[in-house]
Structure 1
Amino acid sequence: MDIRNPLGVHALVWVGDTAPASVTTAIQKTKSSGYDLIEFSLHDSLNLDVARTRAELDAAGLKVACSRGLAMDADISSDDPAVVARGERLLQDSLTIAAGIGASHLTGALYSAFGSYARPLSTAGRANVVTVLRELAKQASGTGVTLGLEICNRYETNVVNTARDALRLADDIGEDNVVIHLDTYHMNIEENDMVRPVLDAADRLGYVHIGENHRGYLGSGHLDFTSFFHALGAIGYTGPITFESFSSAVVAPGLSADLSIWRNLWDDGEDLARHARQFIAGHLSARPA
């Protein structure tokens, strides 16, 4: 089976934090489940031992990516300069951590807080996003870390909800190391179909999250994964494909509430992850030549 894409799994399938023991568990389970890459959310970054994590990743032969969103009091899409400044510092700290553990990508809702906003994004707020992310991309250019703009649904951000929103934002940022990050869970809510966003992003697509419409077992919902994977094949996508699933069985303080993870969709992360890897690999192998 010739699969060119690094296949990844989100650490929240295994553990809810990034304390040393949890990181060790997540890395070991990711490796034993056959994945090439692990994605760490930096919501718990104060507990992450950067040097130890990098050493364990190297020993396991795993690639790594980092993701995060911001907070309402540290939101670069705000009109308040003090709030924007806090968000910028958070992003800079996250870039330092991502580079320190050897991450290929720092991605997610880098442009705003997680949450339902009470009003549309302002012109000033969008300008702040462009300014901060342009500077962050310049800082990242010497680290080997690529920045991803993850497209999230309307209930989690008012900045970027569709692939075309993200492409316009990336155009305005104007840096080559800023890529588009598609997530099938969010696409199901906001996009017209599972094909056009992939074709629109084309060679600017740099990271993919695979998640079911309810974020449980792949194939147990209603998403059209066949068309999505065929579209990835049509553009020749060879970047990371990371399985993302959340359940109340694994609680991440703060983040689980931000993402409204109230349902227990699975209890056995290992069975879930092994099933997901087989599912993804099968779809990649079945794509038309």
Structure 2
Amino acid sequence: MNPRNPLGVHALVWVGDTGPASVSTAVDKTRAAGYDLLEFSLHDSLNLDVARTRQELEAAGLQVACSRGLAMDADISSDDPAVVGRGERLLHESLAIAAGLGATHLTGALYSAFGSYARPLSTAGRANIVTVLRQLAKEAKGTGVTLGLEICNRYETNVVNTARDALRLADDIGEDNVVIHLDTYHMNIEENDMVRPVLDAGDRLGYVHVGENHRGYLGSGHLDFTSFFHALGTIGYSGPITFESFSSAVVAPGLSADLSIWRNLWNDGEDLARHARQFMTSHLTAVPA
């Protein structure tokens, strides 16, 4: 497999916010660690200077992707039109930020809030998701941004927990710039293995998060990364592969609590990121052409 998939790192490996100083730190450290792409969570978008950030990314020669989830009071999977409306506005604002940064992808739990739901997704709520994301995808086409449906575990959403769930949702949205986003951390909880979801997604796989089962150093947990990377090779995946890891060493107000980041899985983001890049490169290089 071509080891030149764009390799990315999540900004939360470096910093907990997107203020100017933190963005500069994240850009500098991402470039120094040899990555091709930097992913920003838009949980702190009010502090993000879009024009300045784009200039810094371009000067560093870095690609950029954006990710986000919604909030319970701004959730397009709700049955409440007012709540859906707030979520829809948030998504369109996020798309404008992603386009302004020159992002390749806007991805994540675009379809619901982060959190454990007390009941299954309703028929009306699912219809709201389809309507809102179809319109968002149409708007995204004019910006060159691809939308990703990140598959998250049952404790973070009740909408899509498996690749097949996401494929059905993408089919219903019906726009060709909506892709599947697999994340090995979530796959470990919800999927039967690390291969079948990749094969099921096939050429509709458009973004990948690589994270260990405990979200620490790659290779220090029990995930079968060998099979996963071989599956990526089988389908000829050439899109971004982004390392995502969280520790209480870097606190993102609000988001750290939403993701239940309660302990230090690492203290040195630079060592963690260098290790992750070498780990991913080695696995990609080992996959037969």
TM-score if structure 1 supplies the norm length?
Answer: 0.99
Match of 1:91 in 2: 91
Distance (whole Å) between structure 1 residues aligned to residue 142 and residue 96 of structure 2: 11
Q: CA deviation at 1:2?
A: 5.1
Question: In 1, Cα distance between the equivalents of 2:192 and 2:165?
Answer: 14
Residue aligning to 1:19:
19
- Measure the CA separation in 2 of the matches of 1:48 and 1:168: 34
Give 1:84-163 correspondences, 5 Å limit: 84-163=84-163
Partner Cα separation in structure 2 for residue 77 and residue 127 of structure 1: 8
Tell me which amino acid in the other structure corresponds to 1:239: G
Task: Kindly provide the CA deviation profile for residues 138-163 of structure 1, in whole angstroms up to 9, marking residues without a partner as x.
Answer: 00000010000000000000000000
2:44 aligned counterpart, secondary structure: helix
| Cα distance between partner residues in 1 of 2:241 and 2:168 | 23
2:235 is the alignment partner of 1:239 = no
Q: What secondary structure, in the 3-state scheme, does the structure 2 residue paired with 1:79 have?
A: coil
Deviations 1:169-193 (A, max 9, x none): 0000000000000000000000000
**CA distance in structure 1 between the partners assigned to 2:196 and 2:21 by the alignment:** 42
Amino acid at match of 1:270: E
What runs of 5+ residues in structure 1 fail to find an aligned partner? none
Q: CA deviation at 1:3?
A: 1.8
Are residue 279 (structure 1) and residue 276 (structure 2) matched?
no
Supply the distance in 2 between the matched residues of 1:221 and 1:156 (Cα, whole angstroms).
21
How far, CA to CA, are the matches of 1:52 and 1:227 in structure 2?
A: 40
Q: Distance in 2 between matches of 1:4 and 1:23?
A: 25
Amino acid paired to 2:149: L
1:263 is displaced (CA, Å) by 1.2
Q: Deviations over 1:33-91 (max 9, x none)?
A: 00000000000000000000000000000000000000000000000000000000000
Residue 4 of structure 1 and its aligned partner are, at CA, apart by 2.8
TM-score normalised by structure 2 residue count: 0.99
User: How far, CA to CA, are the matches of 1:172 and 1:29 in structure 2?
Assistant: 40
Instruction: Output the CA distance in 1 between the equivalents of 2:257 and 2:72.
Output: 14
Q: Letter of the aligned partner of 1:114 in structure 2?
A: F
Tell me the CA shift for residue 26 of structure 1. Answer: 0.1
Task: Tell me by how many angstroms 1:212 deviates.
Answer: 0.1
Q: Could you tell me how far apart the structure 2 residues matched to 1:33 and 1:237 are?
A: 23
2:267 equivalent to 1:267: yes
Q: Please, what is the CA RMSD of the aligned residues? A: 0.7
Q: Which ranges of structure 2 fall in alignment gaps of 5 or more residues?
A: none
1:288 CA displacement:
1.8
- C-alpha deviations, 1:188-242, integer Å up to 9, x for none? 0000000000000000000000000000000000000000000000000000000
Indicate the residue corresponding to 2:219 in structure 1: 219
Question: Which residue identity lines up with residue 66 of structure 1 in the other structure?
Answer: C
Structure 2 residue aligned with 1:29: 29
Give the letter aligned to residue 132 of structure 1: V
Amino acid at match of 1:210: V
Secondary structure of 2:39 counterpart: strand
2:45 is matched with which residue?
Answer: 45
SS of corresponding position for 2:26: helix
Give the secondary structure class of the aligned counterpart of 2:246. Answer: coil
Aligned-pair identity in percent equals 89
